[in-house]
Structure 1
């Protein structure tokens, strides 16, 4: 019987290439908090056998997508080709960027656009006036959806069945003592977002950070993108966020609505 790491199909679907799926999982094991990993760590994070993980890592290293110092593996700059392939072919980011830059000019604060990918948001465009988080954010950065204004602005507009499935499976881990980790409370917060048309999150993701987001309701009525502005808590109260920032976000959202 062939080794499971060498199977060419997975999940009963013969059009799915298991080896590619696992190779991508190895790449995704690396992130900002795990830039360097041992073979054992990669195997544990991906659920792939050590022998399988070794083959994928050696292949990535041979193709110059990863580096190896004798103990630790890390992704090499060549991996940026994969992300650039998306950026160069995706029109969404290009359409969003001018609007984000205008928002930042009007408000003096950083603005971003993100989409929902699984249980996380992924930044697809960003206009940063200054760094306000302990971690650097850029296009491609990922954050939990449940404790971010961008995530809530998208989640609140998902079909009931999809939202129920999300709330059932997501792990609500506290990022700060203010993070909502109760599913009933999170559902109520999302219902409030839908009722008022915007999401505001204060220090649930990180101390000192407050953000406000609006959904980009597309022509077909769906919401897959949200826009936000982030600011230091000391610079803007919730009332000031609504008064100063919400109009710019809504103006951009309305203008973009007919282009998506």
Structure 2
């Protein structure tokens, strides 16, 4: 792991950064991690990883796996997640509006937060079709191939869009995921023109999703609302006509709230 501390930063606590790197080692892990795996993922020596894991165990953030092979994160991580969502003013303001939107559309409604290369789900109100991982808060998707990401990029200056596309991992998630930067720019242009984006089978086969960006008080996009449904039940243009006005009204309510 590269040293994140700027040169001559006297306030930066390197030991704290190493502890955080242990927690971050679990990002996208497929299961419990051994000490060797934690050390490799965090860029630490095995002895440093052992000390940090021991400390995090004492604090309750890491626990041995049920079979005794490796470690996993424990409940206090969820306490921090709860506090983040509880204290985030956008999530607080959006929650009742999203509930009302879900009642009206009767399809999945998500709130995702813009984080550069990814859109991170902060609220998920699923339909009966969703899989387990698709319902988890904190799951993220690439900005470049999601309806919310296209809507967000439509509100960014072109140099920022270019920078996102230049740094993006454009590997496809489905056979229909757009990987050509110009094709993605075309979708961004459509979103800018329409005030919303429409994505077909970009993340999941059989899924249609409409996204509308949420700006902050300065007009910069910080999040997006997604409405997602099944292509077996919706014609794309019918879906657009039904969902776009409702999503746009929800965003107006959030921004003015």
What TM-score, normalized to structure 1?
A: 0.88
Conserved? CA contact 2:151–2:224, under 8 Å: yes
Q: Following the alignment from structure 2 to structure 1, what is the Cα–Cα distance between the partners of residues 256 and 177?
A: 34
Q: CA deviation at 1:88?
A: 2.4
Number of the residue aligned with 1:130: 128
Number of the residue aligned with 2:39: 43
Number of the residue aligned with 1:61: 57
Does residue 25 of structure 1 match 2:21?
Answer: yes
Q: Following the alignment from structure 2 to structure 1, what is the Cα–Cα distance between the partners of residues 208 and 126?
A: 15
Q: Following the alignment from structure 2 to structure 1, what is the Cα–Cα distance between the partners of residues 44 and 157?
A: 34
Q: CA deviation at 1:109?
A: 0.6
Q: CA deviation at 1:105?
A: 0.9
Number of the residue aligned with 2:245: 247
Number of the residue aligned with 1:143: 141
Conserved? CA contact 1:133–1:206, under 8 Å: no
Q: Following the alignment from structure 2 to structure 1, what is the Cα–Cα distance between the partners of residues 217 and 61?
A: 40
Indicate the larger mover: 149-158 or 31-40.
31-40
RMSD over aligned Cα, in angstroms?
2.3
Q: CA deviation at 1:216?
A: 1.8
Q: Following the alignment from structure 2 to structure 1, what is the Cα–Cα distance between the partners of residues 182 and 50?
A: 43
Match of 1:176 among 174, 177, 183: 174
Equivalent pairs, count: 254
Conserved? CA contact 1:153–1:214, under 8 Å: yes
Number of the residue aligned with 2:222: 224
Q: CA deviation at 1:15?
A: 2.5
Number of the residue aligned with 1:10: 5
Give every structure 1 segment of 4 or more consecutive aligned residues whose post-TM-superposition deviation is greater than 4 Å. Answer: none
CA deviations on 1:173-208 (whole Å, 9 max, x unpaired) are 111111111222222222222122111111111112
SS in structure 2 of the partner of residue 140 of structure 1: coil
Conserved? CA contact 1:202–1:211, under 8 Å: yes
SS in structure 2 of the partner of residue 136 of structure 1: helix
SS in structure 2 of the partner of residue 234 of structure 1: coil
Q: Following the alignment from structure 2 to structure 1, what is the Cα–Cα distance between the partners of residues 55 and 83?
A: 20
Q: CA deviation at 1:115?
A: 1.0
SS in structure 2 of the partner of residue 245 of structure 1: helix
CA deviations on 1:19-61 (whole Å, 9 max, x unpaired) are 2233223212224652311222223323333333222222212
Q: Following the alignment from structure 2 to structure 1, what is the Cα–Cα distance between the partners of residues 38 and 147?
A: 31
* Structure 2 spans left out of the alignment, 5+ residues: none
Conserved? CA contact 1:218–1:258, under 8 Å: no
* Structure 1 spans left out of the alignment, 5+ residues: none
